[in-house]
Structure 1
C-alpha cells in the first residue's frame, strides 16, 4: 500500500466522519393551533422560537444542521396520517386521537410514543356539549331521540358516548350521532339543523362566547380524565433522544410562560390562531378549565387505556395497545431535570393554576377561590379579580358607566369549581345576598332547594348585585 493510498483512505474516513457530524437533521412537528391546549407543544414554541434555544450542538451534534418544519392541522387524524407516512416526527393531540395514533402506527408496523401531557383535567373538563342559543334544552336528558353531531373519533366523541351511557341510552337507537367537524357544526347550530353538538377544546366555549350556542354539559360531569399531549416517532426518539429532550424543554418553558402571564399569551394565541383571548384565558388562566400540567398522572394513563377500549367499540381498532410501552415518561423526566425542575413533585400536584394577586376593589388578598369572579376590561393587560361574584357584578355596572369595554366576565362554579363565562351562567342569590354560580339551571335549582335562595340568570343576578351595594 503506497503512502498516497493511505492518505487517500484517511481523507475518505475523515470526510465520512465530517459528513456524519454535519448531518442535516429534520425536526418536523405537527401542531393544532386552534386546539389551544396544544399551545405549549406547538404554537408558542414556534412563535417564540423556543426550540432553537435547546437543540443540541455538542457531542455527536457538534456540526449538525437542523431542518425545523412546522405543519398545522385542525384535528388529530390527518396529523396521524402524516406521522405514519413518515412526514412528521412529532405531533400534538388529545388522548383519544393520540391513542388512535399509536394503533395506526402498530397497524403499519411502526411505533409512536406518547411522551408528555400538555394540559388536562382529571375530572374531564375541556370537552363539552352545546345546543343552539335559541334552544329550550337545559340538560342532556332532554336530547333523547335528537340528532347530536361530533367530530368522529375525537376525544369529544368518547365523552359523548360516556355521557349517553350514563343516561342509560343506546347510542344507536336513542339518539342519532352524526360526524361534523367544528367548522361545520357552528353553522349547523346557527341554523338549528342539529339539536346539539359535542366538541373538544375550545369549541364548546368558543361557540358559547360567540352567542351561537349554550353549553349544557361539561366534561367534568363525566368524571373521566382527558388531556392533550405530545407524541414522537419511536425510531426517531431512539436515534435522537437529545432532540426529543430539547423539544420537551421548549415545551416546559412555554408552559411556564403561559402560567406566568396567561393574558399576554392568550392574546398571542388569538393573533395566530384566531381563537379569542378571553376563551384562551378560560383554559390557560388561573383556576382555569384545565391544569398547566406536563406530568403523566395515573389518571391520564388510564385515559389512554379508556380511549383504546372506546376505539375498539367504535371498530376503529381491532387490536390492543400496550399502554405501559406506549406512554413513555423518560424524555419528559429528562427535560424536567435539565430545566432544574422536580418531576416527581409535579406529579403529585393536582392543584389548579393558582390565582395570584389581590381583590381589585378592596386590595385585600383573596382567600377562598370558590366564589371568585373576574372581569377582563379591553385594553387592560391583566384580568381584574374579585373575591365574590356579587362584588364583581356590582363593579361591572360601574365599569360600564365609565364607558369601559368589557371583554369577558368569569365566575367559578360553586359545585364543580370550573371556570365559567358568567354571561351564560346561572346564579343562586342566598339570604345573605351572596351569589353562587352554576353552569346549568338544574344545578342552580338543586342548590336553591337544598340551601334556600333565588335562581337568576346573569342579567337578573347583575341587577341584584347593583341593588345590594
Structure 2
C-alpha cells in the first residue's frame, strides 16, 4: 500500500509559544533563534537537514544555544522576525518579498535582508497545480468556473495566476480561489471540495506519489525562476556577524552533504517530516527539481523584482519594496570564499546524474544502497522491466519531462511513442503540446512502454 499523503497524517506545525529574543540564557549561553519550515523541503539545508546534522551548533560552540522553531509557512516566521523573536529564517521567494516589504515599512530595527539562497528551479517547476486522479481536466483552461485551493500570496498561488494570465484567463473572474493552508487544501481536493490545488514543493509530488492526485500544470511550463532563501534581521547580522557567518558556513556544509549523500539526506528529511522518502528525493536528489546552491544569482534578483507587481495586485504587499537594499550577499561571499563569483554563474545541479540532464533517468530499488542511473527514457524503461522480471521491488523511477525537463515519477507520467523513442511528460498538457508538432507521436501506457522499450 502506498503511503498516505502527509497532509492526512500530521497536524500542521503550530507557532511555538516559547519564542525568545536572542539574549543571555539563564545558564550563561546566548540564544540564537532559527525559524524554518520542515515540510518545505526546498529549504532543508537551512532547516530540517541542517538541524539534524548539527553543523550550526558545532560551528558555534558551547557559548551558544540554538533554538529551532518549525512552522507550516513563511508568514508566522515573518511576524516573529518583525517582533525581534526570530533571528534567522528561511522561506520561498513570495514570502520573502512580503517579509522584506513589511520589515522596511516597520522601519527601525525590524529591517531584514536576504543573505543566501537554499534551492531554486530556473523554470519554476517547484510549483504545480494538481487535480484528482479521475478529474476530466486536461489543462488549466478546464478549471474555468471551478474552485481552486491555494495559499494566497504563496509561490504556488503566483504560478496559478500567471499561468492563467498567459492563457488569457483572469484568476479573479474565471476561477474561485479558496485561500487555504496546504494541508487543508489537500484534504479539500480529496473530499471533492475543490477542483484543484495550486501549491509549492513538496505538495504536488507527495499527493501524486501517494496516488491521491494528478499533475495538471507543470510550473516549469511558466519558465519563471522560483527559489527559497535565508533571511536575517539586519540588526542581528550587524551585531552578531560571526554567528551569521557560522550559520551560512553550516548551510554550505549541509548543501555539500546533500550533494554527496542524496539518499541518506532524503531518508533523514523524510523521517523528520513524515514525507515519503521517494518524494523528497524527487525534489532534492541528483537532477532533482530543486537545485541546491547558496549563491544569489542575477536571474533570481530579476525574477524577484518581477514578482512585486503581482503581489501588489492581489493586495498582500502593503508597501513598495526596495529590492536592492533587501539583497545582501556580503555575508555569503565571506562564508563561501574566493570561488563565489565563478559559482554565481553556474546553474548546473551540484548533484547531477551522468549524461544529458534533459534525458537521464534514475531507478531506486528497495534494499540497494545506491540508485541506478539511466542515460535516457528508453534505458530507464528497460531497467524497470529487468527489475520487475527479477522480482525486485521498485521504490521509484524518475525521468525528466521531454518538453520542460521537469523530473517526475515515471509511473505517473504521460507517455508517447515517437518512432523508436518513448517520451515521458509530467502532464497531459505537455504531452499534447509535443504531439501537436510531432504528428507521428502516439499515446502509450506506462505498462506498455515498459514491455516494448
TM-score (norm 2): 0.90
Q: What residue in structure 2 maps to residue 453 of structure 1?
A: 441
**Take 2:63 and 2:431, find their aligned partners in 1: how far apart are those partners?**
59
Q: 1:439 aligns with which of 420, 426, 429?
A: 426
Equivalences for residues 161-172 of structure 1 within 5 A: 161-172=161-172
Contact 1:428 1:447 in 2 (8 A): no
Q: What residue in structure 2 maps to residue 329 of structure 1?
A: 329
**Take 1:157 and 1:427, find their aligned partners in 2: how far apart are those partners?**
28
Q: What residue in structure 1 maps to residue 74 of structure 2?
A: 76
Q: What residue in structure 1 maps to residue 364 of structure 2?
A: 376
Q: What residue in structure 2 maps to residue 101 of structure 1?
A: 99
Q: 1:425 aligns with which of 406, 410, 413?
A: 413
Q: What residue in structure 2 maps to residue 50 of structure 1?
A: 55
Equivalences for residues 390-405 of structure 1 within 5 A: 390-405=378-393
Contact 1:95 1:303 in 2 (8 A): no
The RMSD of aligned alpha carbons is 1.8
**Take 2:351 and 2:29, find their aligned partners in 1: how far apart are those partners?**
43
**Take 1:445 and 1:229, find their aligned partners in 2: how far apart are those partners?**
35
Residue 181 (structure 1) shift: 1.4
Residue 443 (structure 1) shift: 2.7
Q: 2:349 aligns with which of 343, 348, 352?
A: 352
**Take 1:136 and 1:278, find their aligned partners in 2: how far apart are those partners?**
27
**Take 2:357 and 2:36, find their aligned partners in 1: how far apart are those partners?**
34
Q: How many residue pairs align between the two structures?
A: 425
**Take 1:321 and 1:440, find their aligned partners in 2: how far apart are those partners?**
36
**Take 2:65 and 2:336, find their aligned partners in 1: how far apart are those partners?**
25
Structure 2 unaligned blocks of 5 or more: 1-23
2:398 maps to 1:410: yes
Q: Deviations over 1:26-62 (max 9, x none)?
A: 210001110001100011221111012322x7xxxxx
Contact 1:127 1:204 in 2 (8 A): yes
Aligned to 1:265, the other structure's residue is in SS state: helix
Structure 1 unaligned blocks of 5 or more: 1-18, 58-63, 357-365
Q: What residue in structure 1 maps to residue 296 of structure 2?
A: 296
**Take 1:425 and 1:455, find their aligned partners in 2: how far apart are those partners?**
12
**Take 2:228 and 2:348, find their aligned partners in 1: how far apart are those partners?**
18
Which shows bigger deviation, 380-389 or 36-45? 380-389
TM-score (norm 1): 0.87
Residue 454 (structure 1) shift: 2.0
**Take 1:243 and 1:327, find their aligned partners in 2: how far apart are those partners?**
19
Equivalences for residues 163-202 of structure 1 within 5 A: 163-202=163-202
